[in-house]
Structure 1
Amino acid sequence: MTEAQHQTCVFKWAAQPSIRSKWPCLKLLHHVPNGGKRDKIEAAHMKQQGVKRGIPDLDLPVARGKYHGLRIEMKDDTGRTSIEQDWWLGELREQGYFCEVCHGWESAVRVLEWYLGLGEFRL
């Protein structure tokens, strides 16, 4: 499976009625579309509009436990993070976010379930 297919599976899992009723806040889970191939003009426009290399793929802006939110960098079974992705993950961790690199959709689901099970945000 490709990274995109794994990511699609995460959203299919999150959209299931039984999952959505257990964790209604999953309605806030979204993809940050920074990747993909673009021509030079479109890439320049995206950069002017604030697109930055390395932003994690998935964002769940829901505070849990001691974390301000969850960020997931999706990879296929053999994918590796780039220097920019490692930088963003480190910076976001310093700001109080839980960040994880997930190889495959099952890994991302396990992280989401663990994170959502942390309970209410507390300092």
Structure 2
Amino acid sequence: MTYEELKAKYNGLNVRRRPRYLEDQLQKSCVSWFDLQYPQYRLLLHHSPNGGKRNPVEAAKFKQMGVRAGFPDLILLVPNKVHPFLAIELKAGKNNQQESQRIYEKEFGKIGAKYVVIRSIGEFIKVVNEYLNDV
């Protein structure tokens, strides 16, 4: 296909795809399911907004206020018979944990918290149900 044919086909439309925020979509699905399944614990599932683009002034302010790199995506502040809380790191596709996230996993393990890496809504449902069965 020539450039002219391609141009005619798309009639000047911008065909660049927007980035797919797969982890964001996964997190929204997980939180929606959780809120419906466990409304009594809805206020105890928390997301700390560490990510995203910020201007340097705002980023510095958040850092001074305690935002830390590597903090898990979700924290379920419900103790069960074994763990004081559940920390959940969400990963989409082939993404792996960053070093700062591995450090949090180790630190949480030292205090007996459960830390999991979740890659699907099915995994999230299974982990949360098992965790809350021991409450």
Q: 1:57 aligns with which of 73, 91, 112?
A: 73
Number of equivalent positions: 115
Higher relative contact order (CA 8 A, sep 6+): 1
Q: 2:51 aligns with which of 25, 29, 35?
A: 35
* 1:20 partnered with 2:61: no
Q: TM-score under structure 2 normalisation?
A: 0.79
Q: 1:8 aligns with which of 5, 23, 28?
A: 28
Tell me the SS of whatever aligns to 1:65. Answer: coil
* 1:96 partnered with 2:112: yes
AA matched with 2:68: K
* Runs of 4+ off more than 3 Å: none
Structure 1 residue ranges without an equivalent (≥5): none
Tell me the SS of whatever aligns to 1:27. Answer: helix
RMSD: 1.4
Alpha-carbon deviation of 1:46? 0.6
8 Å Cα contact 1:71-1:100 kept in structure 2: yes
Deviates more, 1:58-67 or 1:102-111: 102-111
Matched residues in 2 for 1:54 and 1:74: separation? 12
Q: TM-score under structure 1 normalisation?
A: 0.87
Structure 2 residue ranges without an equivalent (≥5): 1-20
Q: How high is the sequence identity, in percent, across the aligned residues? A: 33
8 Å Cα contact 1:67-1:98 kept in structure 2: yes
Deviates more, 1:37-46 or 1:67-76: 37-46
Matched residues in 1 for 2:91 and 2:59: separation? 22
Matched residues in 1 for 2:123 and 2:42: separation? 16
Question: What per-residue deviation string (whole Å, max 9, x for no partner) do you get for residues 67-123 of structure 1?
Answer: 00000001113221000000001101111100001112221221111100123xxxx
